[in-house]
Chain A
Amino acid sequence: MNGFTAFLRKELLEHVRNYKVLILLSVSAIFGMMSPLTAKMMPDILANVKVEGMVLKVPEPTFIDAFVQFFNNFSQMGMAILLLVFGGLLSQDLAKGTLIIPLSKGLSRYTVILAKYAAALILWTLSYVLAITIHYGYTLYLFKPISVGHLFFSLFCLWLFGAFLLAVLLMASVITRGTYGGLFVTAAGLGILLICQTIFRMDTFNPLKLVSENVALLTGKAEFDQLLNIAWITGALILAALILAMAVFKKKSI
């Protein structure tokens, strides 16, 4: 696997030079710090917005509220930023033709796909772990900790969804042409998943559940078994997306 490590190192170096590392790490740190603070300050913020003839009763924010903010931030803004940052993951290389030389020197096409996915996954994992660490530290300091169920699994679900998005993005960039084709296809795919969830109520296997049920998991309102199934399905989908990407990329003319 010498080609793999070399290409992986080149990818990671490129992420540093393209400011991807800077953006992801700083945004994660900001989210990690902001979420518990927003939860803590919410009563004060609402108290400043006084509406005539209306009494706002805001319950004292709790440990759980900090996680509500965290999951809100990450499942919406976080995922959008992840897509934006990795939008040109493969398509930019294809458009510029930078892959021609390493491929003609004997680098396997499978290696390209796997190394690109691994590099993106490493970066996403790093920034997510950073966000969780900061968030957890702040939350412990600002709130009284209570025991919540399935905290680790709940956080893992969000990570898995990020990994799923990256795999779909990679597959979509292989299939489409142009610099932003993959981004559009992934956004369209997310839209379809959203429609499946809201209109057709296809809950039993929809990966979107991984990012919509996190808080319910913490409070014990969600079914753990169903989410575990979805997590397995999502894992299988990630594998399928990667295999499909490798199969199509082998046939693709560069």
Chain B
Amino acid sequence: MTHISDYLPFLIPIIALELILALSALIHILRHRSFRFGNMFIWIIIVLFFQIIGPIIYFTIGRGEDE
């Protein structure tokens, strides 16, 4: 029986990628602050607490226009 911590070297890149996604979405939220619907706080919560799928939903349907 192995421990979860034995897999840590494999888990770190996954966690890092998830963090990159979440952080890039967070930075985008803070810099643009225009959304198709919802407000800033809702999107920050979605992006930070729903791993992988949160940032994707923000970038695909939540993000406002770039102008």
Residues of A within 8 A of B (CB): 18-20, 22-23, 26-27, 29-30, 33-34, 37, 40-41, 44, 47, 81, 84-85, 87-88, 138
Q: Is the CB of B10 within 8 A of A33?
A: yes
CA A143 to CA B3, docked complex, whole Å: 17
CA A26 to CA B13, docked complex, whole Å: 11
Give the secondary structure class of B's interface.
Answer: helix
CA A68 to CA B10, docked complex, whole Å: 19
User: In the complex, what's the smallest C-beta–C-beta distance from B24 to chain A, in angstroms?
Assistant: 7
Q: Is the CB of A30 within 8 A of B55?
A: no
Interface presence of B17 (CB below 8 A): yes
* B7: A residues at CB distance < 8 A: 37, 40-41
Q: Is the CB of B21 within 8 A of A26?
A: yes
CA A240 to CA B24, docked complex, whole Å: 39
Known: A19-B24, A44-B2, A84-B61. A27 touches B14 (CB 8 A): no
Known: A41-B7, A84-B61. A33 touches B56 (CB 8 A): no
Known: A34-B14, A85-B60. A27 touches B52 (CB 8 A): yes
Q: Is the CB of A84 within 8 A of B57?
A: yes
Residues of B within 8 A of A (CB): 1-4, 7, 10-11, 13-14, 17-18, 20-21, 24, 28, 52, 55-57, 59-61
CA A27 to CA B59, docked complex, whole Å: 13
Known: A27-B52, A85-B60. A33 touches B1 (CB 8 A): no
CA A26 to CA B20, docked complex, whole Å: 9
CA A216 to CA B39, docked complex, whole Å: 46
Q: Is the CB of A41 within 8 A of B17?
A: no
Q: Return the chain A residue nearest B18 by Cβ.
A: A30
* B24: A residues at CB distance < 8 A: 19, 22
Give the secondary structure class of A's interface.
Answer: helix
User: In the complex, what's the smallest C-beta–C-beta distance from B55 to chain A, in angstroms?
Assistant: 7
Q: Is the CB of A23 within 8 A of B18?
A: no
* B61: A residues at CB distance < 8 A: 84, 87
**Which of these, B1, B18, B28, B56, contacts A44 with CB under 8 Å?**
B1
**Of listed B2, B14, B59, B60, residue having the most chain A CB within 10 A:** B60
Q: Is the CB of B14 within 8 A of A33?
A: yes
CA A78 to CA B36, docked complex, whole Å: 24
User: In the complex, what's the smallest C-beta–C-beta distance from B16 to chain A, in angstroms?
Assistant: 10
CA A23 to CA B18, docked complex, whole Å: 10
Q: Is the CB of A30 within 8 A of B14?
A: yes
CA A23 to CA B52, docked complex, whole Å: 9
